[in-house]
Structures are given as C-alpha cells and as structure tokens.
Chains A and B, each alone.
Chain A
Amino acid sequence: MNINMKKLSKKVLYFICAALVLILCASLLFACNTEKKRLERERQERQKSAYSVEEAFLNGLDEDWTRNMRSGDIALLDKAGDYIVVEGWTHTVCDVLVKSDLQTAKIKALAEAIRSESGKKLIADFGANAELILPLLKQVDLTPDDISFLVYDMLCALVKEGGSTLNGMLARLNEVKALAISTPSTVANIDAQIASINTARSSLVPTAAEAEAMLDAFADAKQPLEKLVSFAYNMSINAISDNMYDAIFAGNGALTDISQSEIATLISTLLVNVTELKTSLDDSAVASLNRAFSLVIDKFDSDDMPSSLYAQIVKYAKYAYMTVDVIPALCDVVNAAGDVLTKDDFLAQIMSFIAVGEDMEDGMKEINTSIIAAKVMLGVTEKFGENELCAIIEKICAQAATDHQKTSPVILLDLALNLSSAFGESGDSDLQFAHPEHMTVDKVNKMIATLFFNANFERFKETYRNFGRGLATLSQLRIAAENCSFATFDIINPYSIAVANPDYISAEDLQRIKNWRDYYVSVAESKVNETVKELSADIREDLTLFIREFYAEGSASGEAMREMAGWSLFTQSPPEQEADVWMDKMRQSNLMGIWVLLAILFPN
C-alpha cells in the first residue's frame, strides 16, 4: 500500500472513531434526557392523580365545588367559607399523598372510588361522620402498610404544615370576603370560618419547639406506630366477626367445608399477626407511643380542629392512647387463648356447635358461649401464673392512675368480675361485692360513670360542634351531656341550657350554651382524673384479690371455672335444672360479668 493510501486509511480510521464517540455521547445524552423526561412524566401523572382526588372529593361534598376555583367564583358560592377551608385541608392531604410512597395507581384508584356511586354516598356524609373514611379506604383496597405510612405522614404534615395551611386559608378567606361583600349570607359564612381559623391558629399551631418535640416523638414511635395502625386496619372489626364467619363457615369462600385442622392452621396463622404486634411493642415502644399520642392529644384534641379527617385521626389516637399499655398483655392473652382454640377436642366441639347453625336456640347459644369462654379462660390462666397476672394488673393500673382515658380496660374487667359476685346465690338484687373493703356501691357508680364519661365525652363535644352547625338539636345536646355522668363526679355547671323557646335560640342563649359547654370542657377532665386516681388503688387491690382467690387451692371460683370448662358444648337444648346449675357455676366462677361483657361486644 503506498503512503497516500496509508494516510487515507488513517484519516478514515480517525473519522470512524470520532463518529463512534459522537454517536456514543449522543446516545448517552439521549438516554439521560429520556430518563429525565420519563421521571418528569411520572411526576406529572402523580400530581394529576392527586388533583383528581381533590376534585372528586370536593365535588362529592358539593356539586358546585371544584378544585382550584378562582376567588371570583368562590365568592358566588353559598358556603364560600366552607369551601375554602375544605379545599385547603384537602389540598394538604393530597400533598401528603403525592409526597408519600403510595403508588400512583392507588391515588388514581382513590379518585375513582370517590367518584363512584358508593363513594359519593360516603363522602356526602363525611362531614358528619369522618369514620366513613374507613369503608372508602377498604373499597380502594389499600394495604395495611399503606394506611400506616399515610397516618404517620399525615401527622407529620399536620405539625409541619398545619400553620401554613391555616394561614393560607385565612388569606384566601379575606380575599374572597372582599369580593363577596354584597352577599350577606356568604359573608356570614366566611366570617364564621375566619373566626374558626383564627381560633385554630391560636390553639392548634405548635411553636417551633413544640413542633420539634412532636416530630422527634413521632420519629421515635414510627415503627411501633406503623405496626399498630397496620394491625388495627388489618384486623378491624369487620374482618373478625361477620366477614370471617362467612368466609369460613357460610360456604362462599375458598375454604368451603373447612376441616378442624384447617381451622387450627388458620387460627395459628392469624395469631402470627398478634405475635408480630407484641414483638414490636416492647416497653420502650409503648413508652414512645404514649409520648407521641399524648403530645398529639394535648395539642390537637380540640373542637377548633377545622378538618374532619384530622379530627378523626386524633380520635383514633385517643383510642390507641387508652389501650396501648394493655396491648402487649392482651397479645399474650390472645396467644394463650390460641393454644386452647387450636386443640383437637375443642375444635371438634366447635364444629358440632356450628353444625347446629340456625337451629340453635338463644338460651343454648348463651350457655355454649359461656362454656367456650370458660375453656379459653382456663387455658389462659393455666398459661399465666398468679404472680405474672398480678404483675400485669399492677402495671396497667399504674398507667391508668395517670389518665382517666386509660382506665376503661381495668374498670371493665373489675366491674365484670364484681358483677358476678354482686348478685348473690339466688340472683337477687342485693349487691354483695366479693371484696367490700375495696368495692362499694359508690365506687362502682363512679367506675361506671368513668366508663360512660370516657365513651361519651368526645361525642358530647362533637354534638356541640354539630349543634353549632345546625346539625344537632338542643335536646340531643342535653342527652349527650347526661350520658357523660357529670353529676357523679360532682361537676355542677353554673350555666344552664334551658331556653324559653326551643324553636328559636337567641344569640344570648347561644352564648349561654357555649359557656355551659366550655365549663364542662374546662373542668370535667381534671375532676374525672382526680376520681380515677382515688379509685385506681382499690381497683388494683380488688383485681389482685380476685386473681389470688382464683389460684388459691380449693377456691370456689377456680373449681367452678374448671367444672364449666370440662363441660361439652350442648347440641340440644339442656333441661331446666341444668340451666340452673349453669347459672350457679357462672356466678361462682365470676364468669357472669365477662359473659355479659362479651355479649355486649359480640352480639352475634
């Protein structure tokens, strides 16, 4: 090859190399650009889905409401103020959705669910009953993990962005008010919301230090909180009563004609969830949860919370706060019960019990239920020693003494045990408590009152809120107050809610009613806490005595329990004398009260 050819070959080679490098760079750039565009496209799609949720929710509440309305259009709405507040909170919640790890497809599914006929019905009633969020979430089929992550994210968002959300709403309200000045009803609505927001700003927005403390507490409690929420959502009441029964026994599931061993397997696998919960709730986890819940309740448990959804979350936080201390012990009890429930002879009896089905008379059902309860309880007590159970009671009562909200479980248990002994051998109405040195009629009344207070105080506050919106009557408000048993705690309200004309409530009446309500809210909790503090020692001693008596050799309650646990389930109606024997044993074993308790909680 001559020199020119060689030079040409070299040039050609260089050209090819340069071209290759250029192509490579272009490909890289293209790939990066494509990747960037893909991410941007995904982000936009996600944002669009969240907007869709917002739009669907607002439209579900009111047909005239849409997302991102201009101020001029808002000013034309009847409830312009309501719109601004709802839109503001919805936007905050949707923002949480966008920033969360929830898959975009689920956000879309949420929007579709809200837009569906059943979703619209749920949303229409949402304002009055925010618990309807649960059936909506189940309709969307979010996982328990999704719910737990979202709850955590929403709590953090409330702390971090609650203030800015309220400020934004206020600015908007003022802006729209200026435009709606010629429509008095609209202005009135806006004014009411401005007042509400101002109040919320003053009471619900945490300071920087408070926010930091709360966020730290949330971070500490993140894992157990998510576990608890996930468990609760997964094992919600629907699942463990009607649906579970149908799924297993009613013949329309995959485990039709379920066998005994399959039931045992099923119970064992369900108990895995319980065990996992117990494992995640060690002492430090419980302490961190208590701290997080108490901070949330202290700051956000208020009538001034303008968001129904957040108010509902705070309510759930209160329920959790009430029970978190007893959950680990309950898990142990459930696991111990599981060991009994999975025994072959027990399952065989259950199968024959179910086989009778609808032919079973009510009386027979009650007897059989109590026999099952006896077997389970005996199994539990065999698993736990006397000192172990007493230690659990000691721990729970110590927590209960600090806050009336935590007293319900121990009060219920003590009342149930006392109920059995209270009615005497012949079932007459003479109240004879097993340990009169600790339990008197007065104390029992206060315990019952505490239960009623714990169950109904929130409802009282909610009824007042609804009264303020015109959704509840004065009579309903009065009943709600009566259900709180204020009188038992010697809470005498100086204000009265009597009105001359119930059909017309004047501004003065409204102010007086507000004062009446404010009095209860300001005084009731501290009074109840005082009472509870006094009662807790007696409750603890009473429960401890019941336990020691049960375990004592030759104890009547223990023997009665064992005898009942040894009975087989009835597949036919028992003769009358046997029913009487059953009644006596129920009383002696102290199961009477527990049976009544179970009958109330699980009516089916």
Chain B
Amino acid sequence: MWKLAWKNLKAKPLRSAATAFAIAIAVAMIFAMLSFSPAVYDFIYASQTATSGNSDIVISTNSTSDRIINNVASPLKSLDGVANVCPSLTLYALLGDEYVQVRGFEQGRAQELQDIEVVAGNAQDIGVSDNVAISQAAAKRFGLKVGDRVELSLNDNKTSVIICAVAKASGYFLADSPYLFLGRINRFSKLILPMESPVCNEIYIKAEAGADIDALVAQIRSMPEYSAMLVRRADDEGYIKEQADSLSAPVVLSGAAVLALGIAVVALLFLSSESEKLSLISKYGVVGATKKQIAGIFLIEGVTLAGIGALVGSALAVGIFVAILKFTLSSSLVFGISAWRLFAAAVIGFAAAVASSAVPVVRSFKGTIRQNQIAVEKKSKLLKILCPVMLALAAVSVAIEFAVPSLTAVFGVISLALSLAALGVCISTVLRGSAKAVGKCASPAANVAAVNILRDKNFSRAVTMLGVGMTVSMMLFMAWSLTKSVFSDYVSDFDKMIFVTNVRADVDTGEFEAVEGVKSAVKIVWKQGELSGAKFNKTMNLLGSRDALSLVDFEFVTARDTVDELLAGDEPYVFLDVALKELYGVKTGDVLSFTLEGKTAEVTVGGILKHRLFSGNYVVLSDVAISRLYGVAPDTVVVTAERDTAKVADGLRAKFADNNYYAVDVLTAYKWDMQSTDAVFDLIGTLAVVVSVFIFAITVAASLVGRNTAEKSRAALLNAGMSKTSLLKAEIIEYCLIAATSFVLSFAVSALLTACLIHALRLFGLYFEFMYRAWVVAVVGIVMSALYALTPVAFNFKKSYNIRKR
C-alpha cells in the first residue's frame, strides 16, 4: 500500500506539491489569525511599559507639585516591599528647533529598568559622563552616528552630549516619539541648573516579589514628601488589554472567516481531484483491491500530504508571521510564539486535509466500480436546497440584527458567518447562470467555455474559493481601513490646536490669548481615568474643563442648553458619548463611578454627546468638579490657532521660553502618542496583504490542480480541430467569468458584511457608526479578479496544449 500511495504521489508531482503547499499556506493563515491578538497585546504592553520597564510604581511631578523631587536620602528605600528605587530625570529639550526627550539615570543604572540592545557603539558606556544612546530612527533623522557631539538646549541652558551608542527599537526606545536621548542625570541637569547635580523628577520603584503594589502606592501617597506628587502603578494591565483588544477586534472577527476559509480551501483542493481518484479507485476495484486496502492507500496519501503541509506550514507560519511582526511592529522586540497555537493551526490544517482526502474514498464506496470508472456524477440535490436555505437564514439573521438593538452585536457575528456561507454556497449557481448566458454567444470559444463551466465541478469550486476568498480579503482590508480611521481620523479635527503642557495650575490663559494668531486658550485637565457602570469598566480620556465643548464640534444628543447649564454648575455631571448609550444602555441621570489618580467618586450622567473622539471613549467633566472631587488641577492649556498652527506654536514657545512650557501642535503630539498604534495599523495592513496573497495563491493553485483533470477534454477539442488560440480564448473566458462573478458578488456583499462586522465589534465594547470605503473594496476586488483572469496567460496554458494526452 505504501508503494502504491507513494507512486500515486509521484505520478502527479506538481499536484502533490501544490496540494501540500496549499495546506501549508492554510496552516500559516490559521496560525496568523490565532496569534494576531496576543502579538498585538505583547507589542502594546512593551510600548506602554517602555518608559517604566520592569518597575511597578512611578512617582512623578504634576502641575501642582514641585518640579523636582528630592531623591537624597530617599525615605522610599526603607519601606517594606520596596526592592529597588531608581530616580530619573526626564525633560523635553530642543535639538535645533525640534523637541526631543532627554532621560537621565544615575551613572551605571541606565539598564536597570530596561535592557538596551545596541547596533553600534557600546551599551556599557551609556550614562557614563556625557555619553548618550539614541535610536536608529533618531540617528537617521538627525544624521548622527557614534562619536558625534550634539548640543541640547532648554531656555537659555545648554548641555552637550556625545553619542556613544545607537540602539534598536526595543526597551526604552519603543517609546521613541519624540526621539529619546538616554544618558546621565547629572549631565541633563545642566538643562535646568548651571552645574551638574543629581536632581530628578521621576522615581521608579520595583517592588519585592509578592508585594501588594496597590497598598504600597497608597502608603507612598500618604508620605508627606510625595503627597503632592503623582504616584501610580507603572503599568495599567487593564488599560493595555483594553487597548490591544480594541485594536485587534476587527481583525479577530475577520480572522474567524479566514480560519473557516482556510479549512474550506483545503477541502476544496482535495475535492478538485475527486474524479481522477474515483477512476483510480475503480481500477483498484477491478484488480481486486479491498475497500480496506483502497482506504489505506488514500489515507496514506492524505496523511502524507497533510503531514508535509502541516510541517511546512508550521515552519512557514512562524517564519512569515514573525517576519511580518518584526517588519511592522518592531524589529527588535522578541515576540513569543505560542506552541499550542502553532500546534492547533497544524492540527486544524492536518485534520481538514485528512478528512477532505477521505471524501472521494467514501463516495466511491457508495457507487459501483463502473460508476466510479466513468465518474458518473449524480447531480446533488443538496446544493439546490442549501442555497435558498442559507440565503433565507442569512436574511433572517440580518433582519434580527438590524431590528433588535439588544441582539445586534450577537447577530452581527451570526450574520457575518451566514452571509459568507450563503455566498459560498450560492456563488457557483450564479456562475452557472452567467455561463449559460455567455454560452448563447456566437463565439466558439465562449460556447466551449460555457459548456466547460457547466460540466466541470472544478469551476464551481474555483469560483467558491475565489469568491469567498476575495470577500474575506475585502473584509480584512475593510478591517484595516476601519481600525485606522476610527482610531486616528478624528485627529484631523484638531489640526488648528496646540497643546501647551508643563504648565502650572494657576497659569493665566489670558497670557496665551494675547499671543498673535491665538484664537482661544482653554485650561484643561487632560488625563485618563476609569469609568465604571453596572455593565462596564472602561478607561476613558478625560476632558476636564467647562470650556471643553468649545474645543471640538460635538453633536448634542442631549440639548445643548441643558449640557451647558449642567457643565457650568459645580455638581459632578459627566457627559458621555452615544457609544456608551448604545453599548451599555447608559442614559442621562445614571450614577457612575469615575476614578482619577487613585481616587474614586460618584458622578451623574448629565447628557449624551456624539463625536469620533477617542472612538467614543471620552468623558467631559468640569475642572471645578474635578478639583473638588479629586484634588486634581489643570495641567494643560489647549490653544486654538486662527491660521498657521506651526507659526503660532513657535510664537508660544518664544513668548514662554522663560517658563519652560512645551508647546506642540496636536498633530505632532498625537504622532508621539500614536506611534505604537500606527505600527499596529501597519501590521493589520500587512497581514491583510499577506493573507490576500495567500488566499489568491491557494485559489490559483487549486485551479491549476483542478485544471489537470480536464486535460483529456482539451486534447479532444484540439483533436476535433479547435485551434490552440481558440482553446486559450476559451480558458481565458472561463477564468474571466469566474473572476467577474466573484468580484460582483463579493462587492455586493461587502457592504453588508462591513455592517455586520461593525455590529459584531460591539461585543468588544467598540461602537462605531457605519463606515464603508467602497474604493478599498473595489481595489482589492479588481486586483484579485484581474490577476486571476490573467492566470491562463501568466502560466502559459497554450504551451501545455497537446493533441495526444500522455
């Protein structure tokens, strides 16, 4: 049996290779989808903890505290549960006229919080004397290399430093926006003092193993030295998980479709050579092979191909996925590869392949030897029943999804699955209808093409694979477009705004308004806090000012007058986005908890607003209420420019040079903030491209494999006098019909699927208005269709035409 199985595999080397390759690709795709969310989490976690590293607690200055902290004879070291205390000085300085971050540690302690991986220079020299390390990106931006000397300035103070190392984008340098210069505290202290001094403005604390971090935070807050400082946990795991989940949600949902597609493609691939296998089985039957022996031969074949595919796929999966992660997220971050996910992907691919390889065998046992020999195909009534049933189910699901708000999220997922399934089931029917229409043409090539399509099941399989594959690709690209748009598009609303930070709480906004080009200046608390209700607990961005409503063009679900009146009062009324109303049923008058800087207070929902700001994760609360409830004072002034934002920002910097304010336009500030999420967008986009390429490759491979079974009929056509050119035309028409049918149906269904996807995202706590970019979908569809239609030309089908079949 082994010899026979091996002989069968060697008899069609191209088909065997293509099948194994397709299985491998499917395994890779499944693995990529399973691993996407954890990879995004790892990256976001590393980015969010880039500054704090392995520390557990951070003490830093704020707008009402001292600007420098006394780390001399620090009382922290004597606290129970404190393992290590690491002071740091972080400032924004100017290199030329561009802001950079400078961060200093005590000599020899630069690598206490994070390891530094250098590509040039010596890591041991970092923080010695005036040596600094910068990232590769910074080195490129400023044209710097190891040994170069640069001068940094802050107001009238200057200090010069020497580049001793260029580091990879890992550790501290994951938060490299603005560019980070890492060196020694004493050297950077010259930016605020005329001599070198170990002054600091942050203290990072590593707790002992098993210590109660929250209790330690509370204890430090109660110490008089730090009572006015900002004392918080170094990492907010809940927030990081929230952010990672939000970013990866659209892809996770699409990934389920990719997973199903991968399995379906493997199945269809094996089914494409069904007739040949049936014929072969009949021959074995004629020579006396038993069912067990026949099953054994094909099982060995199937297991061999599945095994090779799974192994190659596993290697490919890790290699390609890690390469994508390193290319998009960070080239130096070490991403964990989950063995169980790899195993699961391999097992799914393997199982699907083996099961699919058994289908022809099972079918052969139902028919006689003769039936198998002539590959009589009973017309399946299943398709005739399945198509309308799936359509009906999908329609019902969609109807419930849109009609019943409380079930919208759940039925969004169901509708997504059913719509895709319906497409997969019905697309072949549409192809057959198209073929019949094309068959009425006078052209012989068109007639031949139409007949082939109607007769050969492989075309049905091909259109199913291409159609569903194209749709899934469109979904992935829509997911990318959606994610990018939702998380960053609102920033363009702020293009006339400038953040001025490092301000004292008692700053006079009139001084800002006196600067030329300034339209308005609003003092605001710009922080993050946690909002909790009966059904949710979310990290929200706080817009803490009575004048916050003037910053952005909110739409008012609650009447504007009511909102203004309540916000102007002293009572703690919060104003939330309609997203929370839609997701969790929050309404005016509800009492929620809001936690800010460790203090929790009850707040009342005063009204509902609408804006894309922070994807709806914002809270508007008056600064007076914030001060009363939490003792937190404004720390930022948001300036609106009349015209040239960059010029106004320069003007602010010049006017307030003595005060050491950091004036930066919002787009740049967000660029700093969005550095890590931009990388995730790149990942999603790259993944969409790679998966689309994979889908396309498998589809073409399956088509080529299936095409082999029709070699006899092509030879017969040539023998009958059809020219090679005409035959080629016929094949081109076949492929064009498949491509066109796939494109039309995919494009038509894509809008519905996008709506289902958006509804399904509510399960992840994400609420968005319907958003559809037809051009994205069209481009994906046109590219895939065009390339598929060109397959006969690209693979030079004409060359393989032979009158005699070997």
Contacts and interface: CB of A to CB of B under 8 A. Distances in A.
Contacts of A240: 195
A264 B224 CA distance: 14
Contacts of B67: 254-255, 262
B531 interface: no
B156 A253 contact: yes
Given A253-B192, A269-B197, A141 B160 contact: yes
A254 B152 CA distance: 14
Interface string A251-264: 11111110101101
A105 B162 contact: yes
B129 interface: yes
B155 A252 contact: yes
B191 interface: yes
A273 B199 CA distance: 11
A269 B72 contact: yes
Contacts of A255: 67-68, 192-193
B70 A103 contact: no
Interface string A270-300: 1111000000000000000000000000000
Contacts of B148: 105
A253 B155 contact: yes
Given A141-B158, A254-B157, A272 B197 contact: yes
Contacts of B198: 269, 272
B72 A104 contact: no
A244 B193 CA distance: 7
B277 interface: no
A103 B162 contact: yes
A162 interface: no
A261 B156 contact: no
Contact of A269 (B147, B199, B504): B199
Contacts of A247: 157, 192-194
Interface in B147-167: 147-149, 151, 154-160, 162
B728 interface: no
Contacts of A253: 155-157, 192-193, 658, 660
A332 B792 CA distance: 91
A235 B149 CA distance: 24
User: Which size bracket describes the interface of B in this complex?
Assistant: 35 or more
A4 B113 CA distance: 63
Contacts of B197: 266, 269-270, 272-273
B68 A103 contact: no
Interface hub of B66, B151, B158 (most chain A Cβ within 10 A): B66
A322 B158 CA distance: 34
B659 interface: yes
B187 interface: yes
Given A105-B162, A256-B659, A265 B129 contact: no
A254 B130 contact: no
B493 interface: no
A304 interface: no
A178 interface: no
Given A109-B160, A259-B66, A266-B199, A254 B72 contact: no
B130 A143 contact: yes
Contacts of A108: 149
A256 B506 CA distance: 14
Nearest to A243: B194
B196 interface: yes
Nearest to B70: A265
A17 interface: no
B191 A239 contact: no
A244 B187 CA distance: 16
Nearest to B185: A269
Contacts of B191: 254
B195 A235 contact: yes
Nearest to B184: A143
Given A238-B194, A253-B192, A146 B66 contact: no
Interface residues of A, number: 39
A249 B479 CA distance: 56
A144 interface: yes
B658 A252 contact: yes
Given A239-B195, A265-B199, A268-B72, A254 B66 contact: no
Contacts of B66: 259, 261-262, 265
A247 B129 CA distance: 23
B70 A254 contact: no
A99 to B, nearest CB: 17
B70 A105 contact: no
A131 interface: no
Interface in B120-178: 129-130, 147-149, 151, 154-160, 162
B147 A103 contact: yes
Given A106-B149, A109-B149, A239-B195, A256 B69 contact: no
A96 B129 CA distance: 19
A543 to B, nearest CB: 32
Given A106-B149, A141-B158, A143-B130, A268 B70 contact: yes
A266 B194 contact: no
Interface string A130-158: 00000000000101111000000000000
Contacts of A265: 66, 68-70, 199
Contact of A143 (B69, B72, B193, B196): B196
Nearest to A273: B197
Interface string B640-651: 000000000000
Interface in B390-426: none
Interface in B597-635: none
A369 B663 CA distance: 41
A244 B504 CA distance: 23
A255 B192 CA distance: 7
B162 to A, nearest CB: 5
Interface string A204-227: 000000000000000000000000
Contacts of B158: 141
A255 B193 CA distance: 9
Interface string A78-121: 00000000000000000000000001111011000000000000
Interface string B171-211: 00000000000000001000111111111000000000000
Contact of A252 (B70, B73, B156, B195): B156
Contacts of B660: 253-254, 256
Contact of A145 (B71, B129, B160, B659): B129
Interface in B651-681: 658-660
Contacts of A143: 129-130, 187, 196
A312 interface: no
Contacts of B156: 252-253
Contacts of B187: 143
A238 B154 CA distance: 20
A234 interface: yes
A264 B191 CA distance: 19
Interface in B67-92: 67-73, 91
Interface string A301-334: 0000000000000000000000000000000000
A268 B192 CA distance: 16
B196 A144 contact: yes
A235 B186 CA distance: 13
A244 B129 contact: no
25 contacts: A103-B149, A109-B149, A141-B159, A141-B160, A143-B130, A234-B196, A244-B193, A247-B194, A252-B156, A253-B658, A254-B91, A254-B155, A255-B192, A255-B193, A256-B660, A261-B66, A264-B70, A265-B68, A265-B69, A266-B193, A266-B197, A266-B199, A269-B198, A270-B197, A272-B198
Given A103-B162, A247-B193, 9 more contacts: A141-B158, A234-B195, A244-B194, A247-B157, A247-B194, A253-B192, A254-B157, A256-B658, A269-B197
- What are the 9 tightest A-B residue pairs by CB atom distance, in nearest-first order? A105-B149, A254-B192, A243-B194, A239-B195, A265-B70, A254-B660, A141-B160, A268-B72, A269-B199
Interface of A: 42, 103-106, 108-109, 141, 143-146, 234-235, 238-240, 243-244, 247, 251-257, 259, 261-262, 264-266, 268-273
